[in-house]
Amino acid sequence: GAGVSQSPRYKVAKRGQDVALRCDPISGHVSLFWYQQALGQGPEFLTYFQNEAQLDKSGLPSDRFFAERPEGSVSTLKIQRTQQEDSAVYLCASSSRLAGYQETQYFGPGTRLLVL
């Protein structure tokens, strides 16, 4: 079956521009996560959805970052007024369990964002 897909794969933005990154999770997966991976670092948690509810947004670095998942499937991560420090790979992951933990997260290929 299809895995997690993300679009666009690459995005170049001018500083101050708004961008929107899309994630299509594995069909039927309830949980969806966004991570940010800077060069040479491991992925860092941004936010978590269970269906359409955003249960944890503690990793969002500033109020310029906003995520939504209005119908409990596709999610969009929006970054307003992009800054150079926003340049990173943005990874989306999904998992199937409704509640609880110890469930494997499956990752998409990521969107590489470069802010000039």
Contact footprint for other proteins (CB under 8 A): 4, 6, 31, 33, 35, 40-45, 48, 55-56, 59, 91, 93, 95, 97, 100-110
Nearer to other proteins, 41 or 62 (CB): 41
Please give the Cα distance from 4 to 24 (Å, whole number).
6
Please give the Cα distance from 15 to 77 (Å, whole number).
17
Smallest distance from the beta carbon of 9 to other proteins, in angstroms? 8
Structure tokens at 40: 């040479």
Nearer to other proteins, 17 or 37 (CB): 37
The pairing of strands 111-115 and 106-107 is: unpaired
